[in-house]
Amino acid sequence: MSGGMSRTAIGLGGALGATLRRELQLAFSSPGRIVNPLMFFVIAASLFPLSGRFEPALLGTIAPGVIWVTALLAVMLSMESLFRGDYDDGSLEQLLLAPQPLYFHLQMKVLAHWLVTGLPLVVISPLLALLLHLPADGYAPLLIGLLLGTPTLNLIAAIGTALTVGLARSGLLLAVLILPLSIPVLVFGAGLVDTALNGLPMGGLVAVLAALLVMAGTLAPLAIGAALRISVQ
């Protein structure tokens, strides 16, 4: 290293910050990655009221389930972009070879992915709640549930994405792998809104959703890492 550039070793914090920045820059450079899941979420949820003559009250009772299922599907459809580009251009291999622990890099990648695809779903969900006549008491639990639940869904779906990134057509396979594993989040998330609408305390279910997030956040990166090493070899 005699010439111009002086190289300094990057610490863990610096490397993770760089990963996060890189992911966000990549996402903002192709807006479709952010907008398409959001559009899917809005369009798919608005199909339900059009599929029959629903009284507003009936629509209100199915609204939590409709919003949660479409959010789950939107999360799943957004996952393709998590590793696909990195796999195609070889930067995924560099990530696996990086001196910093893969575990934290993967947490950062999923966090960045959630910030650009999951968080917008949470932000726009009150609009869907309005369209689906969700009673006013349901808004807060819907937002809290989606805020805790969508990152968990991203983490679980990332395992399946990592397992299938080496395959050419993985869309439907990903759904078959991921949807059964996502059921607990769906049950507790939609259940939280239902509980609140019935006037019951929501503390327990919020705690369960938070516990699932912590568990997925700590355990899923291990499985994602193992899966990536299989897909890249």
Partner 1 sequence: MMQWLYKLGSPRHFYEMTTGFIPWLAGVSVLLLIIGLVWGLGFAPPDYQMGDNFRIIYIHVPIATGGIGAYVMMALMAAMYMVWNIKMADIVAKVCAPVGAAYCMAGLITGAFWGKPTWGTYWMWDAKLTSYLILFFLFVGVMALRAAFDSENASSKAASVLAIVGVVNVPIIYYSVEWWNTLHQGASKLSLRDGAANPPEIWVPAFFTGFAVIGLYFLAVIMRSRNEILYRERRAQWVQDLLKTELANV
Q: Does 170 bind partner 1 (CB under 8 A)?
A: yes
Q: What's the closest the beta carbon of residue 177 comes to partner 1, in angstroms? A: 5
Q: Judged by CB under 8 A, which stretch of 4-12, 62-70, 130-138, 180-188 contacts partner 1?
A: 180-188
- Residue 47 or 222: which CB sits closer to partner 1? 222
Q: Judged by CB under 8 A, which stretch of 29-37, 122-130, 138-146, 184-192 contacts partner 1?
A: 184-192
Q: Judged by CB under 8 A, which stretch of 35-43, 82-90, 133-141, 191-199 contacts partner 1?
A: 191-199
Q: What's the closest the beta carbon of residue 101 comes to partner 1, in angstroms? A: 19
Q: Does 184 bind partner 1 (CB under 8 A)?
A: yes
Q: Which of residues 204-233 bind partner 1 (CB under 8 A)?
A: 212, 219, 223, 226-227, 230-231, 233
Strand segments, DSSP code E, in the chain are none
CA distance 149 to 74: 13
CA distance 158 to 89: 19
Q: Does 68 bind partner 1 (CB under 8 A)?
A: no
Q: Does 155 bind partner 1 (CB under 8 A)?
A: no
Q: Does 127 bind partner 1 (CB under 8 A)?
A: no
Of positions 163, 193, 197, 206, contacts partner 1 by CB under 8 A = 163
Distances in Å between the alpha carbon of 187 and those of 68, 153, 181, 209? 9, 12, 11, 10
- Helix H or strand E encompassing 226: helix 203-232
CA distance 172 to 162: 14
CA distance 126 to 91: 37
Q: Which residue in 47, 78, 65, 35 sits closest to 197, CA to CA?
A: 65
Q: Is 52 exposed, middle or buried (0-12, 13-18, 19+ CB in 10 A)?
A: exposed
CA distance 125 to 139: 9
Interacting residue ranges for partner 1, rule: CB under 8 A = 159-160, 163-164, 166-167, 170, 173, 176-177, 179-181, 183-184, 187-188, 191, 194-195, 212, 219, 223, 226-227, 230-231, 233
